[in-house]
Structure 1
């Protein structure tokens, strides 16, 4: 989740409290090994990696928030810029005050979808072709909102039709951090629907929070999973047969400064990025937690996690470091 200078003072002042308030840890063997930073990015150029999705060949697709870019990073760290979102005059983005490329997800055909937060009519979901090129907006979201992470359910058919992924069917889900809403959007584009709302998704007003609620988001095992940064929670929202949202379930608490997260496999175990404490924590299905990666491994304000096969991917945006080091770290999951 992006932060800017006007939030930095408040964030820095709470770092000590953040560490003290971290969720419970469980002693045991490490669950990831061989952490290594494979790519360093240019902080001065706005290359602050915000979100990540991994392709079949192991390449990572990331958003560079403040550069407004979508990039492909291979396992050797070679980086190629695929697209740049359009310049916005006088952005008025809530929370951060500037235009930012936020969440990213990928369809089976390689098409990328990105959220763009601007505080203007350009705010919404944008499509990027597999080979790059000019992004195209497919859905407009509220200018006074903050669209953050998003995920694609290509199996969806009840609402939009076209059940086959190759036919372009499916539903995009978007976490709005300011409105405390999960929006649904047809993959082919159109009018968003406020799919899930409620107190569990809402932010907390300062000084209790930063005004950042629903943040990270994944579609997993028939449900939309959401992190709430201000409330330090990990949530599950079942997708009913008619595509409507079931009741919000709290699956873990005490996740101070949780940003985005990724599932370790087909089960419900999660690796979550804790942006201000420079940690990645493993969250088990029963809610217990264990820190598995730290600043000593190379993390620098981690923002998102993805897992594909035998590789864990972690992006770090380094928003609050005196000597910033935005990077991509890889590690190997154990077991």
Structure 2
């Protein structure tokens, strides 16, 4: 395990060197703090209460390298084969965790709605990102969230201004194309829905080939007051895939979120759903379906915090 953990530390040193000067200071500080925490925590074992039913040794003992950037070209035919049909209007495509604008569609969108790449938004340097990014997922106590946070680079960014209703769902297609050697990708998604909004977001994770790879995903969601959000996560990667996903939701007063998880693929899959009902009268619905076969291990884990009064 120590050797594989060391490979992540070495990858981080190279990653940070490559990002030097291109990322804001506050994010650089968070990345370093997260990697230091991952180094302290190490990977969880079945002796940890939250992980007693899932042995992550196959992940912890594999020396993953960061998935390659570029060199992977999807044809429209391949994309049609991979995607779920019916989501034609608003579609973001990511390959190995990085945004592919030529394969994506961003409209038409209501005024003020922002749907696109986290990396592009970080490069633009808006102050509002600092308020939300890495402020909800608990990287101080969860090794996988810490590892993802250390490697924050790209993922889906969705920002919906107050009093906006999105009629069409937002479809986020994440394609893993690891190539030679075990590869890891760390998609980071941020969804911020303002007060009195309504929207649906679908996350879909697929594999282009059957090579060993590890998708370590964190999605942070903010649901404003009197807002309604539907969130769907579909995991249908290859039989050689490892997948750990964390959905962390922060809910405002009288807000409602419906979370639906569908786990189909992967050799070892862990799906964490963690809503915090912070506002009075907020409501959370959690549904899930998993259909495994053979030696697949599919684990759904839920933690619901009733931080505000009169929540359900």
TMscore range, shorter length: under 0.3
Higher strand share: 1
Higher relative contact order (CA 8 A, sep 6+): 1
TM-score, normalised with respect to structure 1: 0.25
Q: TM-score, normalised by structure 2?
A: 0.26
